[in-house]
Amino acid sequence: MRDDEPPNRRDATVAATTLARVHDVVTSGGVAVPARLATATEERPHGYRLSVTLTAGRRTWHAGATPPAGAVTAPATREVGVAVGPGRIRPGRLRVEVWQ
């Protein structure tokens, strides 16, 4: 795939499936736990690289590879509650990007 080509439908499907698997790994009781991001990278699909980002307010957590400059990635996102402290849950977003 050339860098200026949009991700194809297969890549978008891979991203959506990967997001669902990553969500299952990073959440507990439906709430995302930032400390679990490190193990989420094990959900990388065969033949793809994976970047996982979790945001809540001004806070950001990241795991996995960083897409190289100019790489065409297939992103998928999902709104989640994020545990930012004991008993503190904030609205946030879980994002995965996959690329070959």
Which tokens hold the place of 15?
A: 């991203």
Over residues 3-57, the pLDDT tens digits come to 444 556 778 899 999 999 999 999 999 999 999 999 999 999 999 999 999 999 9
**pLDDT value at position 70?**
83
What span, in angstroms and rounded, lies between the C-alpha atoms of 5 and 51?
19
What residues does each domain of the chain span?
A: 9-99
Helices and strands, number each (H, E), in the chain? 2, 6
> Whole-model pTM?
0.88
**pLDDT value at position 29?**
92
**pLDDT value at position 7?**
57
